[in-house]
Amino acid sequence: MNATWIRGAAVVIWLALAAGFVPATAGQVETVNVSVTVPTLQRLDLSTHAVSFAAITSHEYDVGYVAEPAALTVTVSSNTAWKLSVRTTSANMGTVCGYAKPASDLQWRKSGGAYAAITGADQVIESSTIHAAGHAVSVDVRMMLNWARDIPGRYGLDLTFTLAESVEP
């Protein structure tokens, strides 16, 4: 190689560096942060929005109630600890000929459990300290009957089911 060529190449490199040209470096690494905020999500689905008891006969009056086993299924999905409760906002099941049938005559239970009279306060049906994905809870209902009080007529009330985040450990 001749000296003129080497001087010319050095001048070209010097001019390129002076102009801000920097050759790419091999193995360059960059980092990207990816994030998402997962909120508390809960959903309950009811298998039905109306429950009707079968026709009442003298037999149901004799035993003191009419029952509807597996009256509805409540399906729970939650990505956190949860509790499922039921209550009513009604003091009675309606008035027929001056008789107001008490709301407490309607009883509920998680299938297989003990019956409890419905009240205006949240009553826990089931709870869990872990998440649930499509967890089915079967609920039975029964209405207490009394030959001396319950006169012919139509009675009913609304049940409110609530799925909430559980604060219990």
pLDDT (average), residues 77-88:
97
pLDDT digits (tens, 9 = 90+) for 52-75: 999 999 999 999 999 999 999 999
The residue ranges of every structural domain in the chain are 42-165
On the CB side of 19, CA atoms within 13 Å amount to: 8
Which residues neighbour 143 within 8 Å (Cβ) at sequence distance 6 or greater? 53, 65, 66, 93, 105, 106, 107, 155
Q: Which CATH number fits domain 42-165: 3.30.420.10, 3.20.20.70, 2.60.40.1090, 1.10.10.10?
A: 2.60.40.1090
pTM of the model: 0.78
Which pLDDT band, with edges at 50, 70 and 90, does 26 fall under?
A: confident
Task: State phi, psi for 137 to the nearest 5 degrees.
Answer: -120, 115
